[in-house]
Homo-oligomer: A and B are copies of this chain.
Amino acid sequence: MVRWKGLSPDEMRVLETTFWSAGASRHGMAERLGCSKSKANGLIAGLVEQGLLAEAGLQPSSGGRRAETLRLHEGLGVLLGIDIGATSLDVAVLRPDLSILAHHAEPADVRSGPGVVLAQVRELMRELLAQRGLGAGQVIGIGIGVPGPVDFDSGQLVNPPLMPAWDGFSIRDDLRQDYRAPVFVDNDVNLMALGELWRQQRSRPNFLVIKVGTGIGCGIVCHGEVYRGAAGSAGDVGHICVDQEGPRCHCGNLGCVEAMAAGPAITRMAVEAVEAGESAALARCLEAGGQLTAHDVGQASRQGDAAANRIIQRAGSLIGQMLASVVNFFNPSHVFIGGGITRLGPLFLAAVRQSVYQRSLALSTRHLEIHCTPLGGQAGLVGAGVLAMQETLRVRGVAP
């Protein structure tokens, strides 16, 4: 295993800079570090010799000599990334440059509590490591996303509405029994935002990631960093009111956007459309599968089903209404939307955009872009890997 302890602050900065600018030329390193080329080359040569950095082949030519790129050396060890959703579980073994060595996804019910879910996580971690001939000793950092508010410093869940059995539970302490590597836990949508920040190499300092699945949450990137708020609950946009006369939410208030436009509300609207005899397509889906999902509504819409289109329009419009408030307040450059709701298809994004552009101020939306998350379904998993590597470097960097 690698000896971190002898590394200087300058060497740690080269490793961190390489991690955050994957595929960048080694010739840009001096500029990014703010030091001379000869100093940068010396640091890089030393780290290559120690087996911490690797030269990753050549960048595509832009006319002149092709430049060598750098990446973190796989000899550093591997990362474990875990994305716990309300109804699903993703586990991956990643190299330090976040390329995936092994990955498995399966259904899971977060409500069954930490004992059951973490046993499933442990088993998957063991299996995936074994597949690649690796053991716990090769793991250098573990990053985990959960669908609830996390106190980032203690790694504990705090009053998580979708996973009440986890309240006050420390995943970090639990996994410490099996792995010597540090464990870092964050909210799932914060990790989607972190993954996106890494993907675009920190080039956009102020953007939002909205996840709409069983609940609705928002990851905030501000001044180039994930913003968690004074008590770690920033981005809790699911309980913003979009209709004072709306239905009662599980939080006790009326007309929360989560109660009216997240996954369960879409399923409910689809079942109501079937019961009212308004959609033959959705009725067939319900009969065949016994239930209806966002995916079914999206498929019916693509076949021209009017009821499905109306449901998508309504969900998009309500989420856009909530986003309009958030855009007026935060003035982000981009809003990325992810989670199960994206299965509703392109009409959904169009309805969101229309609603935001209508309700937000011209200056706030002049350069605003609204898209699906570029990392798609892997945003949370990539974010878990970024958390693991970034925090491992930080912890090692300050350790004595």
Q: A interface vs B, CB < 8 Å?
A: 149, 158-159, 206-207, 218, 220, 222-223, 225, 227-237, 239-241, 243-244, 251, 253, 321-322, 324-326, 328-333, 358-364, 366-368
Contacts and interface: CB of A to CB of B under 8 A. Distances in A.
> How many copies make up the complex?
2
A206 B235 CA distance: 14
B236 A363 contact: yes
Nearest to A368: B230
Given A149-B363, A253-B359, A325 B241 contact: yes
A229 B331 contact: yes
A203 to B, nearest CB: 13
Contact of A206 (B206, B218, B229): B229
A207 B366 CA distance: 26
Nearest to A204: B230
A210 to B, nearest CB: 11
A367 to B, nearest CB: 6
Name which of A232, A251, A330 has the most chain B CB atoms within 10 A of its CB.
A330
A253 B228 CA distance: 31
A231 B369 CA distance: 12
Contacts of A230: 206-207, 331-333, 367-368
Contacts of A333: 230-231
Nearest to A228: B331
B325 A231 contact: no
B359 A233 contact: no
Given A230-B206, A324-B241, A236 B159 contact: no
B363 A159 contact: yes
Contacts of A227: 206, 222-223
